[in-house]
Amino acid sequence: MDLELSVEQAQLRDSISIAFRRAVESSEALGPMLAELGAVSMLVPQEQGGMGLGMVEGVIACTQAGRFCLNFPLAETILLTGALTSVRPEAGKRVLSGLSSITAACDTRREGQEHRNSGGYSAAYLDSAEWFAVLREDGDIAFVEVSRLGQMSRNDLEPGIATGLVGVEPVQDSTAVVSMDLAVERLAILRSAEIVGAAAFCFETAIEYLKDRRQFGQPIGANQALKHIAADGYVQLENIRVAIDYAATAIDRAVDNPGEFEWREEAQQVVSVVLSFVPTAARELAEMAIQFHGGIGVTWEYPLNRYLRRILRIGQSLGSSEDHRRTLVNRMVASDAEPRWQEQSVEKRPA
């Protein structure tokens, strides 16, 4: 039992952090820099020329992307480059060399439901990504070239990157379909990691501000009213972190042991746990940070703005918590989760 990063993983985190800082401070294009770092090929299987790392490392990288509010679809690209390479080798090469990237949407609509009212998928990085992936719950991934998408509208939730609604025909001749185990779950966790990185940045910025900013002759952080909110924020952040680490580990275990049905179920359950609270909790951390900053917190220029918008965009794409909560309730009373002897209570009852 071990839910801490290994020494190598901690080193990976630190070197990614240094590299991402350099990348956002430089004026060069991000893609090639990230490719050179090896960030893009992290999760690509070794047979395809990648590093073959797992979800835990993916979470480390995406968390750092969130911390630096990187304008690059890192979660989608690192997860899907291998799959794209297997059906479109040339396109995969372009992604691996940093000339292109992948953006994605999850098709988690329930059977018989209409296309969401808009009739399209929200997607980001439409100006830089070359491939758009639709992930279906059955594990199928359909890749379409972004240039062939019907763009229906543009959104301005995150002004720094091109987001919008796109339409995809059910089958196009340019569509390449490939299947990947637990693809929807993996993407959800990597995206969650990105918003957690963003939320951690907001939280830490706020804690520093509580120590520096003085009013009434003392640091504002000396006030217990703020301390207790901050302590609850810390608990929330630790909750998110441990849930995501556990989820990443559970997914890796399930993917590495395809025969273990229980492990697969547990992986899906942990993803439900994460999706049932992380988007909201991350957003609340950003909101708390804004409140702690007073007026400066609600300005366009202050960095919290970008981070809040990043959390909103990704968080909204992760769907509603309601279904996941229901799943958890059902699972709790599923027969295998209960102590067996409960069923025999009638016989044990004395006359």
Partner 1 sequence: MNICFSEGQKQYRQDVRRWLEASLPENWIEAAHWPLLPEPEERAFLVDWERRLYDAGYSGVAWPKAYGGQGLGPVEEFLVNEEMGRISAPESLNTIGRELVGPILLSVGTEEQKRHYIPRILRIDDIWCQGFSEPNAGSDLASIKTRAVRGDGGWILNGQKIWTSYAHMASHCILLARTNADAKPHRGMTLFIMPMNTPGIEVRGIRHLNGQRHFNEVFLTDVRIEDGMRIGEIDAGWQVAVGVLGFERATTRLYRQQRFAEELRALIRQARSNGSMTGAMEEKMGEIAAELEVLRYHNLKFLGRICQGAKIGDESSLLKLLWSQIHQKIARLGLEVLGPDIDADSPVAARFRKIYFIARGETIYAGSSQIQRNIIAERVLGLPRPERRPA
* Residues near partner 1, by CB under 8 A: 1-6, 9, 56, 207, 210-211, 216-219, 221-224, 226-228, 230-232, 234-235, 238-239, 242-243, 245-246, 248-250, 253, 269-270, 272-273, 276-277, 321-322, 324-329, 331-333, 337-342, 345, 348-350
Residue listed under structure tokens 């299987």: 45
Measured CA distances, 107 to 14, 122, 141, 260, 322 (Å): 34, 11, 10, 26, 17
For the bound state, the minimum distance from the C-beta of residue 40 to partner 1, rounded and expressed in Å, comes to: 23
Q: Rank residues 102 and 230 by Cβ distance to partner 1 and give the closer one.
A: 230
For the bound state, the minimum distance from the C-beta of residue 70 to partner 1, rounded and expressed in Å, comes to: 24
Q: Rank residues 29 and 329 by Cβ distance to partner 1 and give the closer one.
A: 329
Amino acid occupying residue 69: C
Q: Which of 306, 305, 308 is nearest to 285 (CA)?
A: 308
Largest Cα–Cα separation, the chain:
81
Rounded to whole angstroms, the Cα distance separating 86 from 109 reads 27
For the bound state, the minimum distance from the C-beta of residue 147 to partner 1, rounded and expressed in Å, comes to: 40
Measured CA distances, 1 to 4, 246, 249, 271 (Å): 9, 11, 11, 20
For the bound state, the minimum distance from the C-beta of residue 266 to partner 1, rounded and expressed in Å, comes to: 9
Amino acid occupying residue 16: I
Q: Rank residues 92 and 279 by Cβ distance to partner 1 and give the closer one.
A: 279
Rounded to whole angstroms, the Cα distance separating 195 from 344 reads 46
For the bound state, the minimum distance from the C-beta of residue 349 to partner 1, rounded and expressed in Å, comes to: 5
Q: Rank residues 27 and 218 by Cβ distance to partner 1 and give the closer one.
A: 218
Q: Rank residues 171 and 351 by Cβ distance to partner 1 and give the closer one.
A: 351
Rounded to whole angstroms, the Cα distance separating 149 from 136 reads 18
Rounded to whole angstroms, the Cα distance separating 120 from 276 reads 24
